[in-house]
Structure 1
Amino acid sequence: MGDRQLFLGNLCTVTLETLRTYCEKYGTIIDLTLNRDKDNNIYHCFAFITFQSSCSITQFMSARPHLINDEEIFVKRALPRLTASIPERLVVTNRLLLSKSTNYDKESLRNYFNKLGSIKKFHYEKGLIDYKDYDDVDKILLTRPHYIEGKEIFVTKFIPNEQQDPEIVNQQPDRSLLKNEEKSLKIKYKYLEKQFEEYKQIKDKEINALRKELENIKEELSDITQVKLDRLIRNQQLFHRQLLLCLNPNSDLIHAQMCDDFLRSAPYKKRKTTTSLIDNQSQYLT
């Protein structure tokens, strides 16, 4: 899909028509899917929208915040399933994690990643970069792999509760709060993962239906092409017989071949008698 799809949240009061009308201001839409949790739509009213051009995504993100029905909607770039993990797709953060950052030159790292977004804080030894905008982190993940001085550097999002924050390593957090937060995140992850799977199944069915329709069209075109090709060959043969007959009008063999060609050239019509065909052919040649 590339960088042409967005995830939009906080849409519990927004209709599909209203959302489409609002988003069309930023470019041509090729797909829009609105999802709701009918039992509990507090957390799970979201949509995926795919634009025809990646420029529409850039314009949409640059125009934040977005208000529909006087309420701000949440928007982020949708990371592809094939190249991004589930936490990377779900977590929103402005913190980028660099693997083995000290294996690379500090200034080379800073200069490279500073070109990809506005850096607020750079932790060289910890391998962390804080950007001013979470969208910069998503853009960096979308453009993986990254190379510093010819060597690939692995980058990902800093995921809370999965990667320990070096800044709070010496603090003693409230264990009960951490457990509650972790439980809440797991519930959200599980539900959103289910939504992703349902969305994927819907799209797979649509793709399979389109493939089947394409195969039927191919077969129809093949049949039509074959019929036209056969007709063209028969007409060429008939023209050849007519030319020979003009050159040698007394040849009974050519007369017989032409009659046979006429009969085979119209398989779905009622065949005429040989005598009438010869008469018609004689009139045509004269």
Structure 2
Amino acid sequence: MNAEAQWPDYEKNPNAEEFRKLFVGGLDTKTTEETLKEYFSSYGSIETCEIMKERNNSAKSKGFAFITFANTDNIDEIQKNRPHEIDGRKIETKRATPKQQQYWATKKLYIKDFPKDMKEEELTEEMRDVFAQYGTIINIKLIKDKPDAKDAQGAGSGGGALKGFGFIEFDDEDPVDKCNLMRKFKIKGSEAHVSKAYPQDKNAGRGRGGMYYYDYEMYPYDYYGPPNAYSRPYGRYGGGGGGGGGGRGDYGYGGYDFYPSRNYPRGGGGGRPYRGGRY
């Protein structure tokens, strides 16, 4: 059974472990697991807390940790109250994202499988109603076919037919991270699927499998996210070296890959991510 089929259904099981994990980065080397527990316990009951250690020095912190809470709402409250500071250092918190999911940082959510034969205004209105509960929406853009010659001359409807996918832009990355984990949403009676939009310079042209990039928007593949060749982080997560790896099972450290910010202890321009327990 593939990873997609194994992923929990948020609607049926909103408190599954996959939705209760927090990634904490930018930790001071002196920060301990006890310190993290003391700080974050104010947001809810903690089930597990583990600071990742150097492979060749089990006493040396890698500068990031994973914390599993008892309830999904605990993660929501932590993210609402960013930024956080521990031991005199501003830290970064993110929803833990397994390596089979998209782990780059973005404020744009890609949505597909909504009923494209409906009016654009009706669809965008419902999308605003559905997704506004997760964060502030900046823009919703549903992609259309190019207008035909008649439309171009102003005699038609003014645009082509909806292609069945689009983008929802938020003012923050966290709503995209959460929706990306949830994956499925009801839009006008249909089960729409979402994933993180993958930005690429418009000069990159055509990608494999028919993907096109225009003005940092993704014209997608027919599955969640681009292939591994394109699955590299960008922006604040593009320069660091750090991340998940190891071999602790599907839901532990081994199931997660991360690309910490440049100011993380193992950061630095051009650093390679730590994956699968090795560089």
TM-score scaled by structure 1? Answer: 0.53
- Which residue identity is paired with 2:112? S
The alpha-carbon deviation at position 122 of structure 1 amounts to 1.9
Note if contact 1:37-1:45 (Cα within 8 Å) is conserved in structure 2: no
> Which of 122, 137, 161 is residue 140 of structure 2 equivalent to?
122
Is residue 166 from structure 1 mapped to residue 214 from structure 2 by the alignment? yes
User: What is the alpha-carbon distance in structure 2 between the residues aligned to residue 201 and residue 147 of structure 1?
Assistant: 28
| Larger RCO, structure (CA 8 Å, separation 6 or more) | 2
Is residue 51 from structure 1 mapped to residue 69 from structure 2 by the alignment? yes
* 1:49 counterpart SS class: strand
> Which of 165, 171, 174 is residue 135 of structure 1 equivalent to?
174
User: Closer, same or farther in 2 for the Cα pair 1:131/1:183, shift >3 Å?
Assistant: closer
> Which of 199, 207, 226 is residue 248 of structure 2 equivalent to?
199
Q: Which ranges of structure 2 fall in alignment gaps of 5 or more residues?
A: 1-16, 144-164, 201-206, 218-228, 254-279
User: What is the alpha-carbon distance in structure 1 between the residues aligned to residue 171 and residue 50 of structure 2?
Assistant: 30
* 2:77 counterpart SS class: helix
User: What is the alpha-carbon distance in structure 1 between the residues aligned to residue 250 and residue 131 of structure 2?
Assistant: 37
TM-score scaled by structure 2? Answer: 0.54
- Which residue identity is paired with 2:39? Y
Q: Which ranges of structure 1 fall in alignment gaps of 5 or more residues?
A: 170-178, 205-286
Higher relative strand content: 2
User: What is the alpha-carbon distance in structure 2 between the residues aligned to residue 167 and residue 52 of structure 1?
Assistant: 41
- Which residue identity is paired with 1:117? G
- Which residue identity is paired with 1:166? Y
- Which residue identity is paired with 1:86? Q
Higher relative helix content: 1
User: What is the alpha-carbon distance in structure 2 between the residues aligned to residue 122 and residue 113 of structure 1?
Assistant: 10
User: Closer, same or farther in 2 for the Cα pair 1:183/1:157, shift >3 Å?
Assistant: closer
Is residue 86 from structure 1 mapped to residue 100 from structure 2 by the alignment? yes
Instruction: Report the count of equivalent residues.
Output: 184
The alpha-carbon deviation at position 75 of structure 1 amounts to 0.5
Note if contact 1:145-1:153 (Cα within 8 Å) is conserved in structure 2: yes
Moved over 6 A (4+): 183-189
Note if contact 2:25-2:93 (Cα within 8 Å) is conserved in structure 1: yes
Is residue 97 from structure 1 mapped to residue 110 from structure 2 by the alignment? yes
User: Closer, same or farther in 2 for the Cα pair 1:201/1:146, shift >3 Å?
Assistant: closer
User: What is the alpha-carbon distance in structure 2 between the residues aligned to residue 31 and residue 16 of structure 1?
Assistant: 10
Superimposed CA distance per residue, residues 72-101 of structure 1 (whole angstroms, 9 cap, x where no aligned partner): 11101124x4xxx5352x222211011266
Identity of aligned residues (%): 28
User: Closer, same or farther in 2 for the Cα pair 1:5/1:87, shift >3 Å?
Assistant: closer
User: Closer, same or farther in 2 for the Cα pair 1:12/1:50, shift >3 Å?
Assistant: same
The alpha-carbon deviation at position 9 of structure 1 amounts to 0.9
Note if contact 2:136-2:171 (Cα within 8 Å) is conserved in structure 1: yes
User: What is the alpha-carbon distance in structure 1 between the residues aligned to residue 131 and residue 38 of structure 2?
Assistant: 36
User: What is the alpha-carbon distance in structure 2 between the residues aligned to residue 183 and residue 149 of structure 1?
Assistant: 33
The alpha-carbon deviation at position 198 of structure 1 amounts to 2.2
User: Closer, same or farther in 2 for the Cα pair 1:99/1:39, shift >3 Å?
Assistant: farther
* 2:178 counterpart SS class: helix
The alpha-carbon deviation at position 32 of structure 1 amounts to 0.6
The alpha-carbon deviation at position 38 of structure 1 amounts to 5.7
1:29 alignment partner in structure 2: 46
Note if contact 1:102-1:124 (Cα within 8 Å) is conserved in structure 2: no
